[in-house]
Chain A
Amino acid sequence: EIVLTQSPATLSLSPGERATLSCRASQSVGSDLAWYQQRPGQAPRLLVYGISRRATGIADRFSGSGSGTDFTLTISSLEPEDFALYYCQQRYNWGPVTFGGGTKVEIK
């Protein structure tokens, strides 16, 4: 099973700042890497898939990058509604789907 490790666990930033979230895989996942946002009491929402493809309706301040085992989700300028939990997810080579442990983006 591929393990995804997200860092940092918590990111304390102010609105308007840039957020950089990291996800590292225990082995290569090719381009099979997605990011989700989860607000309190809500279901996760797909933000990015295929490393860098934004899902339908997702603002362009969200961008994904990386390759192989190291991936990044960047939020270029934090809006109030962006303070939430973020998870990365992989399903490489038809193995089990796994998620990272999450990064909480909180207001500083």
Chain B
Amino acid sequence: QVRLQETGPGLVKPSQTLSLTCTVSGGSINSYDFWWTWLRQPPGEGLQWLGYFYRSTTTYYPSLRSRLTISLDASKSQFSLNLTSVTAADTAVYYCARATSHGGNPMDYWGQGILVTVSS
């Protein structure tokens, strides 16, 4: 059974960098069949796709491209998110997920989510 687990600080100060890690177990993070993806959901709002890491390349949501970095460490079976210069608008539950190669890249496995609050 594939499992994903997000870890990281629950509180980040404005203007600082939000860093999260997703640990993948029960499946290979090296597989070329999957896109390793980050999403978020502000409290009481809908889902926003942030970007993914696939085959040594990354793709980001356009409006976040200047602040966002997604990387992958296959030796640790982890992928990570760094979001710089955060503001209160970045407060959200952050999810990592595995997207498949089916049309539209549907996400078949998700982490439980981690709430990150941006506040001084």
* Residues of chain A whose beta carbon lies under 8 Å from any beta carbon of chain B: 1, 29-34, 36, 42-46, 49-50, 53, 55-56, 87, 89-92, 96-102
The binding surface of chain A is classed by DSSP as loop
The residues of B that contact A42 with a CB separation of less than 8 Å are: 112
Please list 18 pairs of residues, one from A and one from B, whose beta carbons are closer than 8 Å in the complex, sorted by A's number.
A31-B104, A34-B104, A34-B107, A36-B107, A43-B95, A43-B111, A43-B112, A44-B95, A49-B106, A50-B104, A87-B46, A89-B47, A89-B104, A89-B107, A97-B49, A97-B105, A99-B49, A100-B46
Query: How many residue pairs between the two chains, A and B, have CB atoms under 8 Å in the bound complex?
Result: 65
Q: Helix, strand, loop or mixed for chain B's interface?
A: loop
Q: Which residues on A sit within 8 Å (CB–CB) of B100?
A: 49
Question: In the complex, which of the residues A33, A34, A42 has the most CB atoms of chain B within 10 Å of its own CB atom?
Answer: A34
Given A43-B97, A89-B106, list of 14 further CB < 8 A pairs? A31-B103, A32-B103, A34-B104, A34-B107, A42-B112, A44-B107, A49-B100, A49-B102, A50-B103, A55-B108, A89-B104, A91-B105, A96-B62, A102-B46
- State whether A30 and B113 are in contact (beta carbons under 8 Å apart), knowing that A97-B49, A99-B48 are contacts in the complex: no
Minimum CB–CB distance for B23 against chain A, Å? 15
* Distance of A36 from chain B, by nearest CB (Å): 8
Residues of chain A lying within 8 A (CB to CB) of residue B105: 32, 91, 97
Instruction: Tell me whether A33 and B95 are in contact in the complex, defined as CB-CB below 8 angstroms, given that A45-B110, A96-B61, A101-B46 are known contacts.
Output: no
